[in-house]
Amino acid sequence: MCRSIKTLRPPVLPEEATDEDMHAAALQYVRKVSGFRVPAAHNREVFDRAVAEVTEATRKLLDGLEVRGAVKQKS
């Protein structure tokens, strides 16, 4: 997997992941999977939509995870 994607859950990340953290991870993932660092104009819409969908999936995943011994913070 892409080395620049970091773990976003506690205790690895000391505080709750920000929207920027989740977006950056999603962008790296979509870049890796698509093979494009910057998509051509005709692929921009689908590329951006994929980043948004992966960001939302990441948010749902992190919100649903239960980490043993960690206190769940309210968003």
- Residue 3: pLDDT above 90? no
Would residue 29 count as lying in a domain?
yes
Residue 13 near residue 37, CB atoms below 8 Å: no
CA 42 to mean position of chain CA atoms: 24
pLDDT one-digit tens code per residue, 6-42: 889 877 887 889 999 999 999 999 999 999 999 999 9
Give the total number of structural domains in the chain. Answer: 1
Range of the domain at 48: 19-62
Q: What is the dihedral of CA 46, 75, 28, 61, to 10 degrees?
A: -80
pTM: 0.81
Would residue 7 count as lying in a domain?
no
pLDDT one-digit tens code per residue, 52-72: 999 999 999 999 988 877 665
Would residue 10 count as lying in a domain?
no
SS3 7: coil
Task: Return d(Cα 69, Cα 54) in angstroms, integer.
Answer: 27
- Residue 4: pLDDT above 90? no
